[in-house]
Amino acid sequence: MGSNDLKMPRFRAKIVCLMPSENDNCQDSTENQLNRVYQDYNLNNSRECALSVQGRNEIRIFAQIFQSMAKFHSLKVAEIRKETADCVSVVFEVPDSLKPEYKYIQGQYLTLKMKVGGEEIRRSYSLSSSPVSETELRVAVKKVQNGKGSTYINDHLKQGDVIEVMTPMGNFYSQMNPSNSKHYVLFAGGSGITPMFSILKTVLAAEPKSRITLVYGNKDEESVIFREKLAMLEKEESARLRVVHVLENPKQPIADLQKGLLTPEKVMALFESVIGVNGDNEYFVCGPGPMMENVKQVLEKLKAPKDRIHIEYFSAVIDAVAAAEKANATPTGKFVSKVTIILDGQEKEFDLANDGPTILDTAVGADMDVPFACKGAVCCTCKGKVMEGKATMTMNYALSDEEVEEGYILTCQAHPATERLVVSYDEP
Ligand SMILES: Cc1cc2nc3c(=O)[nH]c(=O)nc-3n(C[C@H](O)[C@H](O)[C@H](O)COP(=O)(O)OP(=O)(O)OC[C@H]3O[C@@H](n4cnc5c(N)ncnc54)[C@H](O)[C@@H]3O)c2cc1C
Ligand code: FES
């Protein structure tokens, strides 16, 4: 079996090729092979499949797995539920025709486009539902003080409203496999529980031999999002799910270990007494910036393998490290680059100064319908791939080292670093 890539307008397609050579002695009928491809890749009839016969003895079956590029659709709000005093969860109604486009993986997020006070804004929200054990598409939104999007959603959005919702994105996940026997260690703070709730429900449903420890930091008992649901799940799955609440100002008596903030000392103490450092640990971290930095620091100290650590930023970390990174990324020596931007198979050329607007702003300014959300290096919606030349990024909290090595960039942060640069939004 081999694989290839095909560029098609508005789609990213992966081609899976069965029986690629004349030497393959395959007796299977093309229909059976096609059915196998459907099964293996979880395709349904609404996705396209192409059959191509090439050469006399060679049959190639191409299943084109169409993964729609980030695209907005108008979805109706099916339900709004108050989760805490300052958090609501929102369910979207997805018509059957759009269901394949809104298939998602645990830990992924949706980007919502809203008009707030006459201004169009985009905000990303992680899915809290599980793609394996639930059919609904639910996000949870915590109100941020003076926050435009989160206040609008908490105070004004109502059932029956129609809102622009981008198809799911993000890589805050690891592959599920029923034969896995892992210990998922989830560190969440505040609204950072949202992707974790999706992940933990999915692990419970999809990996019977894996277990989970969730460490969840909050101000007090009342601010714990999904509190009752977590308690219920922990009761039902007591052998596989452990929830450790850490509260800054608990109202009820609580063990000393669970009191206070998730400082490096506290995280280390939790490792020593509750979590344990094991080779089968896989870590997920999402919450306020300082908490995430503390957990990262401890994981580094414990020499946790990098490929076992998954981090999701909800907002840019404004700290000394980021400021230094920004300063380092400032280009020395000015020049103007010939930049080609590819979207949906269409190319546009620009003369772009290396200290001028970003690749994303350039594309948006030229009316290219490129995907973006946060514009702050955290969500990765604006991901593109450098096909020729080089680009530098001012900040990056969303792409992994491997992705950067493969040439992927956050176009909202990217500037040309060579006199010729080709960036494509069409690469999967
Ligand atoms: C990939 C991704 C997934 C996300 N998932 C969720 C989620 O599941 N639930 C959720 O509630 N939010 C989530 N967020 C954050 C969300 O997108 C918004 O940033 C948040 O709701 C604030 O937007 P706003 O318009 O209300 O505030 P803005 O008007 O953008 O900002 C107002 C003020 O709040 C500060 N601020 C911005 N974001 C945050 C934040 N997250 N926490 C604290 N202060 C902030 C800003 O610095 C600013 O001073 C996610 C973000 C990303 C990138
Ligand atoms: S738009 Fe979010 S990282 Fe670029």
Give me the average pLDDT of each 10-residue run along the chain (428 residues): 35 37 44 52 39 32 44 96 98 96 96 94 97 97 96 98 95 95 98 98 98 98 98 98 98 96 98 95 96 97 96 76 54 86 94 96 95 92 96 93 95 97 91
**Which of 122, 396, 412 for a ligand 2 pocket mutation test, highest count of atoms within 8 Å of Cβ?**
412
Residue of 360, 411, 422 whose CA lies nearest to 386: 422
pLDDT value at position 322? 55
Residues paired with 150 in a beta bridge: none
Residue 382 CB–ligand 2 contact under 6 Å: yes
Burial (CB < 10 A; 0-12, 13-18, 19+), residue 370, is buried
CA 378 / ligand 2 centre spacing (Å): 6
Task: Report which ligand 2 atom has the smallest distance to the Cα of 383.
Answer: 4
80 close to 141: Cβ distance less than 8 angstroms: no
Task: Report which ligand 1 atom has the smallest distance to the Cα of 172.
Answer: 1
Residue 410 CB–ligand 2 contact under 6 Å: yes
Residue nearest atom 50 of ligand 1, based on CA coordinates: 314
CB count, 10 Å around CB of 196?
A: 29
187 close to 262: Cβ distance less than 8 angstroms: yes
pLDDT value at position 323? 53
Residue 210 CB–ligand 1 contact under 6 Å: no
CA 315 / ligand 1 centre spacing (Å): 6
pLDDT value at position 427? 84
pLDDT value at position 4? 37
CB count, 10 Å around CB of 3?
A: 10
Q: Running DSSP on this structure, what letter comes out for residue 308?
A: G
Distances (CA, A) of 32 to 14, 38, 360: 20, 10, 44
CA distance 127 to 19: 38
Residue of 426, 423, 428 whose CA lies nearest to 361: 423
Q: Write down all domains in the chain, each with its CATH number in brackets.
A: 2-68 (no CATH), 72-166 (2.40.30.10), 183-312 (3.40.50.80), 329-424 (3.10.20.30)
Contacts of 36 (CB under 8 A, 6+ apart): 18, 28
CA distance 364 to 359: 9
pLDDT value at position 319? 52
CA angle (85, 86, 91) in 5-degree steps: 100
Phi, psi (rounded to 5 degrees) for 139: -120, 160
| DSSP states along 76-119 | EEEEEEEEETTEEEEEEE--GGGGGGG---TT-EEEEEEEETTE
Residue 397 CB–ligand 1 contact under 6 Å: no
Q: Is 385 helix (H, G, I), strand (E, B) or coil?
A: strand
Burial (CB < 10 A; 0-12, 13-18, 19+), residue 363, is buried
Task: Report which ligand 1 atom has the smallest distance to the Cα of 190.
Answer: 11
**Which of 89, 108, 125, 375 for a ligand 1 pocket mutation test, highest count of atoms within 8 Å of Cβ?**
125
Burial (CB < 10 A; 0-12, 13-18, 19+), residue 69, is buried
Q: Is 25 helix (H, G, I), strand (E, B) or coil?
A: coil
pLDDT value at position 329? 55
Which ligand has the minimum distance to the alpha carbon of residue 371?
Answer: 2
